[in-house]
């Protein structure tokens, strides 16, 4: 498969089709990002790399980091994790409070904000220094010790994160948050502020295409069975209330973030990261969504 040729051709096609959508302004630090930036990077499980555009420009990965916190919690707790958070699609926006009362404080899945906040609470209990230990875990996944939080983004989220505070307090009322709310939210805001390039994100994500093993250092992160389950959660829940559309059009497990990033995997083959900050009404990158649909159509590679 000539991935570079397909990436280049698809990239040019997407550039020529305009750039609809809007950047996320409800987090002020994200509102000033140039919406015309657009990068792609693909890495195979054999460590072959292909890229286009702004693939070396750092950006805030936002909710994509929820996959890493989920992997870390699952590694520690195994199936006990699902006592605190479910694995069902929500069908609601990523920051919705609607289902929590009906579900008695058990978030529908770990990819929505409520679920990720519960995962942060779990890790706050398990880890000595959650922000430090989580960052070290991500660096081990990527083999890159330069990956870090963007403090400005974390502070911007903290200053405007009223709905996330409401989610955390509402979940706490059902007993599914055990630690101090401010500590859990501080960890959550830092988790979402992780800054990576498309290359770094694809490299960090590739363990999910490689049966749970990293390419760099050959570390066993998850068992093949655990890896399969996280990929299944991404497929059904990774794109908020547009997960079904992504599965229908693209056919890969993946996760989006309101920073404009999308990371996806073809199991046993590659991981791919795309970044374009302009979002659709569901909070997903317009160009990223379109790129991946055309890419999997041209390659003929999806999980289906």
pLDDT tens digits, residue range 19-63? 989 999 989 999 999 999 999 999 999 999 999 999 999 999 999
Please report the pLDDT score of residue 81 as a whole number: 97
Question: Which residue is listed with tokens 């997407």?
Answer: 14
Does the structure show a pLDDT above 90 at 173? yes
| pLDDT band, very low/low/confident/very high, at 97 (cuts 50, 70, 90) | confident
Which two three-digit tokens encode residue 144? Answer: 């890159």
Which two three-digit tokens encode residue 93? Answer: 């926006």
Distance CA 255, CA 24 (A): 17
Structural domain count of the chain? 1
Using an 8 Å Cβ cutoff, are 7 and 40 in contact? yes
* Residue 172 maps to a domain: yes
Q: Which residues are known catalytic residues?
A: 63, 66, 188, 240, 258
* Residue 243 maps to a domain: yes
Listed residue (108, 109, 111, 114) closest to 166, CA to CA: 114
Least confident of 65-79, 80-94, 119-133: 80-94
pLDDT tens digit string along 183-242?
999 999 999 999 999 999 999 999 999 999 999 888 999 999 999 999 999 999 999 889
**Judging by beta carbons within 10 Å of its beta carbon (0-12, 13-18, 19+), is residue 26 exposed, middle or buried?**
middle
Strand partners, 253: none
Please report the pLDDT score of residue 100 as a whole number: 87
* Residue 304 maps to a domain: no
Please report the pLDDT score of residue 245 as a whole number: 95
Domain span at 223:
3-299
* Residue 251 maps to a domain: yes
Least confident of 54-58, 99-103, 228-232, 292-296: 99-103
Mean pLDDT of the chain: 95
| pLDDT band, very low/low/confident/very high, at 101 (cuts 50, 70, 90) | confident
How many residues appear in the chain?
304
Please report the pLDDT score of residue 92 as a whole number: 72
* Residue 239 maps to a domain: yes
| pLDDT band, very low/low/confident/very high, at 181 (cuts 50, 70, 90) | very high
Average pLDDT estimate for 85-96: 82
CATH code for the domain in which residue 108 is found: 3.40.710.10
Can you give the pTM of this predicted structure? 0.96
Query: How many Cβ atoms sit within 10 Å of the Cβ of residue 276?
Result: 28
């Amino acid at each position: 498969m000539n991935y570079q040729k397909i990436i280049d051709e698809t990239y040019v096609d997407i550039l020529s089709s305009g750039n609809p959508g809007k950047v996320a302004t409800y987090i002020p630090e994200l509102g000033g990002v140039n919406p015309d930036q657009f990068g792609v990077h693909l890495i195979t499980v054999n460590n072959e790399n292909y890229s286009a555009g702004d693939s070396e420009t750092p950006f805030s990965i936002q909710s994509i980091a929820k996959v890493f916190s989920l992997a870390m919690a699952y590694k520690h707790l195994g199936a006990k994790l699902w006592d605190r958070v479910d694995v069902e699609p929500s069908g609601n926006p990523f920051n919705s409070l609607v289902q929590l009362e009906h579900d008695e404080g058990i978030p529908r899945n770990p990819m929505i904000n409520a679920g990720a906040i519960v995962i942060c609470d779990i890790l706050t209990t398990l880890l000595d220094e959650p922000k430090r230990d989580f960052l070290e875990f991500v660096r081990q996944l990527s083999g890159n010790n330069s990956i870090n939080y963007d403090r400005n983004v974390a502070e911007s989220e903290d200053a405007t994160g009223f709905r996330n505070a409401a989610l955390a307090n509402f979940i706490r009322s059902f007993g599914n948050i055990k630690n101090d709310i401010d500590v859990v939210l501080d960890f959550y805001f830092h988790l979402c502020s992780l800054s990576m390039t498309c290359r770094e994100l694809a490299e960090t994500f590739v363990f999910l295409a490689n049966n749970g093993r990293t390419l760099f250092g050959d570390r066993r992160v998850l068992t093949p069975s655990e890896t399969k389950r996280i990929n299944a959660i991404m497929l059904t829940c990774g794109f908020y209330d547009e997960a079904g559309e992504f599965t229908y059009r693209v056919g890969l497990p993946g996760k989006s973030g309101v920073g404009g990033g999308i990371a996806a995997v073809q199991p046993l083959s590659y991981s791919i990261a795309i970044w374009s900050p302009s979002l659709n009404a569901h909070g997903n990158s317009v160009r990223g969504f379109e790129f991946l649909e055309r890419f999997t159509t041209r390659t003929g590679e999806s999980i289906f």
